[in-house]
A and B are shown apart, each in its own frame.
Chain A
Amino acid sequence: MGKFSGFAVTLRHMFRKPVTTQYPKEVREKPVRFHGRHVLNRYPDGMEKCIGCELCAAVCPAKCIYVRGKDNPPGNPVSPGERYGYVYEINLLRCIFCGLCVEACPTTAITMSNMFEFSVTDRNQAIFTKEHLLVGEDGKPNRKLGVEADVTADALEEAGGWMRATAPGGNANFKEEVLWSPEAGVGTRLPEGVADNHPRDIGADTRSPEGRVEQ
């Protein structure tokens, strides 16, 4: 009998439902903490969250992130505060999708989406720049044409840049809480002592961007 006991396992499996899904016809639901490709988020008012602090680049074990900051243009600030991410590039061929960048980010600017369908024919195509990483004004991720799979608008909604696996306390339902921002750190008063008798022509910061300070 011993020699037939092995076949019992085979027989048992013949009547089971197969685990294979017919990708790409069928799309499996991804877990909430899925580590897909990164997105750069915006505040509800459209301002970019990234402040170009390079902490993501510093913590990245694969050294796949390149960031450079710059002074916010006084008339038309890109992000709240003095500095914004002027260059933001991730080489997704090098990325190991560990999510340390998400943990390091002081403004939850970088999070991981559930978008994973990209294939490249040229190594340069694997470098995602700010243009592709930054979510649109509507909060939906941009798709890098020719590299990322064609998906429906719903799927993009699904892929939104919410904080996922690495939310403080590990709460997968965590939604959008600013950890560090000028508001969170320093309150909402206008700067004091704004006197006119000192030189300030370099003045990166005579602006008061909407949503940053209450007028």
Chain B
Amino acid sequence: MADTKASPEAEESQASPERLKVTIDGVTTEVEPGTLLIEAALKAGKYIPHFCWHPRMKPVAKCRMCLVEVEDQRGLPPACTTPCSNEMVVHTDTPIVQQVQESVLELLLANHPLDCPVCDRGGECPLQDQTMAYGPGESRFVEEKRHYEKPIALSELVLLDRERCILCDRCTRFADEVAGDPLIAFVERGNRTHVLTFPDEPFRSYFSGNTIEACPVGALTAVPYRFKARPWDLEEVESTCAQCAVGCRVKLQSSSSRVLRVLGVDSEEVNQGWLCDKGRFGFEYLHHDDRLTAPMIRIDGELVEASWGEALDAAADGIKRAAKEGPDALGFLGGSRSTTESAYAFSKLARIAGTNNVDAQLGDGLEAAFLVGANPRASIANLDSAAAIVVAGPDLKEELPVLYLRVKQAALKNGVPLIECSPMQTGLSRYAAVSLIHRAGETAQLLSALAGAAQREPTDRPPAGASATDFQRAVEIISEACDKNAVVIAGRTGLATSDGELGASATQLAEAIGGLVLPVAHRANTMGALFAGCAPDLLPGGSRLADGDGGSRAAIEKAWGRAVPSHEGRDASGIVTEAARGNVGALVLMGADLIDDFPDRSLGLEAIGRTGFIVAIDIFMTPTAAAADVVFPAATFGEQSGCVVNIEGRVTRQVAKVAPPGSSQPEWYLLDQLTSRISGKPARWTSHQDVFEEMAAAAPAFAEVTRASIEGAKGTVVRASDTYAPQEIEHPPIATDQYNHRVIAGRKLYGDGQVSGRCTAFRRIDTKAVARLNSRDMSRLGVEDGVAVRLRGARADLEIAVMTDDSVPEGSVSVPFNRIATSSGADEKETGESALHPIRVADLIDSTAAVNEVRIETLESPA
């Protein structure tokens, strides 16, 4: 990094033998050996026209647009595949090069339909631009052009117009090289060559949208953006994606106050330009008619629209009434979907109201202290050069797709050995050196055993049912990688298992091998909310509440002018369990849905039913909001500015682009009003920057974070004031019953949730839930694919179709958490009637148990 920052003069003077001197159109520059001519030209400030070359993919020299003249070399080599050599002299604008460029463009345009006026790419098309800049001006081609049916759907999200295609190979290379889903390829030969999917296999990649962005013409277009706008209509801001905790940098483009398109920004630290399709196309919920537009209060059992003043008074009264009964009569849940500023306001409100019962996670993550305080913490970029990567967490492909791309790239391109510790095979299994498939819920034991083995503690038999040979192989790999920056990625493996000691075991393993930890979380700003203090044992800045007389606590009390309660707070599971017992007087839920988004649905329903007073701050009338006493409409992604923190601890900015619907407000605003009503002091904030400044002043971890330092893609990485130091780990024994199947409840990328269920783009994608079983279990049960079975769980029974999937080990059953499980439930959703209680996988789960098991029963065959 230091090299790139050095001034050009400094580079000139330190002409070391390893660096090559290249002269391009009279400009001399020095480059590393192996640099391609086209990259060297960019460095020298010379643009060489190209179509097929992409900085993040292997060069193929297919388009022939980048031909240049190299002195003392015969012919015209393509700049994208020619490595620089010392004292090379290159010309990019000689008459012969210009003639070649004209010819290449004339030939490319011979078959190009020139329907630019209707093409979605028209106006931002590299082919248009380069034809204007380097083209011959007119065509001599008067014959008939090549014809194809246009457009054809490659998948539910991507359309292909083969007439426009210039066969640059970018999309096919991306699918193969980067995404690892080689589902599109060139077919036929010669003039009739075109891109197509394989028969009966659509281009159903989670990363398909990137091919649209990479396409240098309008051959690939997006279904959600089709004919929505033209490039000159769009205004854009750079922001951070709010779909998962990777925090990819995006360009948010809108026209007439409607978000119309999301594009990736090439940020070396985070997403390298790629986005998953959920991030790219999952914005349509912003403009859905179901958005809440006005505050509501419950009068005579009915939710009715109210003014902001009335609603704020009602909410404050309810919270104050409950607060009189002591700190445990209050519960504050949520914040991980909001900006860090709003989460800070939420954490502050909880503390001002007199409780530490605040949690940003909904009992579906790992320990807060681990997530913010993991030390030494890895960055995403560390994965590229890690000595080994241990993944012990969710299926990254489903939950954090762009992190999956980075891990996959490290394993495949950089040869980093990958150890996967997962209850079933995941998207990464293909690239893993070892897949330690083990019993769900016992990942922590496995990590501890690995840590022990790395420290030469003999293990006779690997725990959790992992294979001994695989375990041995994994131990060899991590011993090899000791003290060489191996990375342990740790996250909740599923929602049916509590994974209680996973954070501690991951830290233990990282310590044992001298590596780094990268904790992962599910919701976009979980880390930000935890850093803002939305956890029972944390204060803003990630400092431990229990440390008591530490400086951070004093700073916060000074900033707030109020003592921070010192009782031991409850986390989400604790709050909901107490609420289900009827011990909680008031619940404040910010973007937290206890019915559809909490692992234990029956407990969530019970808690909602027995809590006297509920305030819901949300963007949709979720089942939980529908049961609340006061509902506030919130502004969300793209509608409010603020900062977010990703899994690395990187703080970047989210920027408002469109107006929120109705009178929706950013959460920090209404929370400030509530705080003022509860504390009796005037509201203090007029913009998110005021909140940010107060937070930065109060939280030592944010002391170095300034408004300027979080501008841009790089942002600033924060570290918690208190690092995580696990206690001695004790793994409680987990009993297994051989007649039962252990439940693996992971999330799928496309679900039926409040947000993705409201994105038109995803509605065409099949999101039917099926239970996946190993083929041996299937034959033992005597059922075939598609047959419905009954899963008898601790909490409820669930009828669900089964499917053979050998990536699930014997004795386990995999069910998607975020999809509606029964067909009757799905029908209800379509007809719009009582979507309140369709049966979900969460009905099955008992979140208080370490693992969940079900007994599978076949249904009587219909007579």
Contacts and interface: CB of A to CB of B under 8 A. Distances in A.
A24 interface: no
B155 interface: yes
Contact of A200 (B113, B152, B194, B227): B152
Nearest to B123: A58
B1 interface: no
A6 interface: no
A82 interface: yes
Contact of A53 (B118, B152, B197, B223): B118
A108 interface: no
B118 A82 contact: yes
Contact of A58 (B147, B199, B223, B232): B232
B200 A197 contact: yes
Of residues B122, B123, B149, B192, which shows the largest number of chain A Cβ atoms within 10 Å of its Cβ?
A: B149
Given A52-B227, A81-B118, A193-B194, A187 B149 contact: no
A197 B115 contact: no
A200 B123 CA distance: 27
Given A180-B117, A191-B148, A203-B152, A83 B227 contact: yes
A176 interface: no
A189 B153 contact: no
A107 B117 contact: yes
B163 to A, nearest CB: 8
A2 interface: no
Interface in A14-41: none
Nearest to B192: A193
A52 B202 CA distance: 30
A83 B194 CA distance: 23
A74 interface: no
B196 interface: yes
Contact of B223 (A51, A185, A202, A206): A202
B118 A187 contact: no
A198 B197 contact: yes
Given A199-B197, A203-B153, A192 B232 contact: no
B117 A204 contact: no
Nearest to B154: A199
The DSSP consensus for interface residues of chain A is loop
A199 B766 CA distance: 15
Nearest to A105: B117
A208 B122 CA distance: 24
A205 to B, nearest CB: 6
B763 interface: no
Contacts of A57: 233
A180 B118 CA distance: 11
A71 B223 CA distance: 11
Nearest to A67: B230
Q: What is the interface residue range for chain A against chain B?
A: 35 or more
A205 B155 CA distance: 16
Contacts of A122: none
B227 A198 contact: no
A53 B230 contact: yes
A197 B198 CA distance: 9
A83 B227 CA distance: 7
A202 B227 contact: no
A186 interface: yes
B114 A83 contact: no
B159 interface: yes
Nearest to A52: B227
A58 B232 CA distance: 7
B144 interface: yes
B273 interface: no
Nearest to B144: A187
B151 interface: yes
B204 to A, nearest CB: 10
A48 interface: no
Interface in A30-71: 51-55, 57-58, 68-71
A48 to B, nearest CB: 13
Interface string B223-235: 1001111101100
B153 A201 contact: yes
A107 B115 CA distance: 11
A209 interface: no
A11 interface: no
A204 B166 CA distance: 22
A101 to B, nearest CB: 13
A108 B729 CA distance: 77
Nearest to A54: B230
Contact of A194 (B117, B149, B199): B149
Given A70-B227, A192-B146, A205-B149, A185 B115 contact: yes
B150 A82 contact: yes
B152 A54 contact: no
A198 B196 contact: yes
Contacts of B154: 199
B257 to A, nearest CB: 14
A51 B145 contact: no
Nearest to A200: B152
B152 A190 contact: no
A139 interface: no
Nearest to B160: A198
Of residues B113, B115, B194, B196, which shows the largest number of chain A Cβ atoms within 10 Å of its Cβ?
A: B115
Contacts of B227: 52, 68-71, 82-83
A214 B146 CA distance: 17
A64 to B, nearest CB: 15
A197 B197 CA distance: 10
Interface in B216-269: 223, 226-230, 232-233
B145 A186 contact: yes
Interface in A163-203: 180, 182, 185-187, 189-194, 197-203
Interface of B: 113-115, 117-118, 122-123, 144-156, 159, 162-163, 192, 194, 196-197, 199-200, 202, 223, 226-230, 232-233
13 contacts: A51-B118, A82-B150, A182-B115, A189-B147, A191-B149, A191-B150, A193-B147, A193-B149, A193-B162, A198-B197, A199-B197, A201-B153, A203-B152
Give me the 6 closest cross-chain CB pairs, A-B, nearest first: A53-B117, A202-B153, A69-B227, A83-B118, A191-B149, A187-B144
